[in-house]
């Protein structure tokens, strides 16, 4: 960075003449209970002579006089520029404008599909159908799903960080259908964003409940037809007993059967199962588990439609009047797609205000015009001789 600054300054001062000068793959999974416990998520000379007469009978100034005038002009220009820079600096450190209300961080346009949904299950998705879908990657390898909430925030499951919680090691891929984009797919690398910070729910103790996490991205996501945020709601009551919600991910297509080449995003339609019924189903098995209030179940009573290993952290979404809302985060289940064993998701609603709070407290406003003008003014001041 220092060398670049020196080169830029040399260009300004010298009139344009600058001074010379594979990762190990970790297995992908949704957490499974009852069979081996928790599984880790997948991984620029002046001329001399006598003074001459100038036009109009006025004498030209001598060489030294010309230098004095030039110096005066330069100092005057530099002074004005420095004063401008100082004014801009004072403006930039003046009273801060109030931060936007918490709700504003989640109130922008969201939930728009660019391609209509087909009523199918367990099939390849089409690019643009689920534009909020993200792939959480550890050292470049897909380990979990994620969903885009805004230009700087994504949502996923807390248990995806049990093997590592160092933000530097993670990236999130958006706008791609394949979990393993081609090496020559430059657009995929352009749409891969580093993770600045990881925020686990304060109630998460290694297992459900509270299996939810927020990711602050290192840079702002550029929205396209294939990259858009999903909506959140403070209440998901309207989605109870819905039979037309969807879960998406790059996990296994069956138990012990990984997603085959070309590793295309899968989509499946599922029904929301009320908590009482889900609790009843999970008390009738050899593996008895309590479905807590921050959980929501979805699947098909007959089996065959479910999230699976590698889908952890991905979104469960439902639409209302053409807008899509995320109501769940893939968390755990017994097997995949078994009859009377619905998938269990973290219910987003109980965590809505926590999500708002974290986003508001860690909001990074875009730099204003003042910062850019200040930098330009300082560069001009340095460049005037």
Annotated active-site positions, please?
A: 159, 211, 312
Report the C-alpha gap between 118 and 124 in whole angstroms: 11
Report the C-alpha gap between 172 and 154 in whole angstroms: 9
CA distances from 181 to 96, 175, 176, 191 (A): 43, 11, 7, 11
Token pair for residue 187? 């657009």
Other C-beta atoms closer than 10 Å to the C-beta of 259 total: 24
CA distances from 83 to 20, 52, 367 (A): 33, 37, 22
Other C-beta atoms closer than 10 Å to the C-beta of 291 total: 24
Token pair 């910070």: residue: 197
CA distances from 9 to 4, 79, 83, 228, 382 (A): 9, 19, 20, 40, 8
CA distances from 103 to 92, 233, 234 (A): 26, 11, 10
């Amino acid at each position: 960075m220092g060398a670049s600054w020196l080169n830029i300054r040399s260009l300004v001062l010298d009139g344009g003449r600058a001074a010379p000068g594979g990762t190990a793959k970790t297995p992908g999974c949704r957490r499974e209970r009852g069979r081996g416990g928790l599984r880790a998520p997948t991984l620029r000379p002046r001329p001399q002579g006598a003074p001459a007469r100038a036009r109009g009978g006025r004498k030209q100034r001598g060489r030294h006089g010309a230098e004095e005038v030039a110096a005066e002009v330069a100092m005057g220009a530099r002074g004005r520029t420095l004063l401008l820079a100082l004014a801009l600096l004072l403006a930039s450190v003046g009273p801060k404008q109030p931060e936007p209300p918490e709700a504003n961080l989640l109130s922008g346009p969201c939930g728009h599909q660019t391609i209509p949904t087909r009523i199918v299950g367990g099939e390849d998705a089409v690019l643009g159908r689920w534009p909020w879908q993200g792939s959480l990657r550890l050292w470049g390898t897909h380990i979990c799903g994620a969903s885009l909430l805004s230009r700087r925030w994504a949502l996923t499951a807390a248990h995806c960080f049990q093997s590592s919680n160092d933000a530097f090691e993670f990236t999130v891929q958006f706008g791609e259908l394949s979990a393993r984009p081609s090496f020559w797919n430059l657009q995929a690398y352009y749409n891969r964003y580093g993770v600045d910070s990881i925020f686990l729910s304060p109630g998460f103790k290694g297992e459900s409940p509270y299996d939810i996490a927020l990711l602050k991205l290192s840079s702002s996501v550029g929205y396209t037809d294939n990259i858009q945020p999903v909506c959140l709601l403070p209440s998901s009551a309207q989605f109870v007993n819905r039979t037309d919600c969807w879960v998406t991910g790059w996990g296994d297509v069956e138990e012990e059967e990984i997603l085959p080449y070309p590793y295309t995003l899968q989509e499946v339609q599922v029904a929301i199962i009320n908590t009482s019924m889900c609790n009843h189903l999970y008390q009738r098995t050899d593996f008895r588990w309590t479905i807590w209030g921050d959980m929501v179940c979805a699947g098909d009573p007959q089996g065959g439609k479910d999230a699976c290993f590698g889908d952890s952290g991905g979104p469960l979404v439902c639409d209302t009047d053409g807008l899509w809302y995320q109501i769940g985060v893939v968390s755990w289940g017994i097997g995949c797609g078994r009859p009377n064993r619905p998938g269990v998701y973290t219910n987003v609603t109980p965590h809505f205000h926590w999500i708002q709070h974290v986003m508001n407290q860690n909001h990074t406003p875009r730099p204003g015009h003042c910062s850019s003008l200040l930098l330009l003014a300082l560069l001009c001041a340095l460049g005037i001789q």
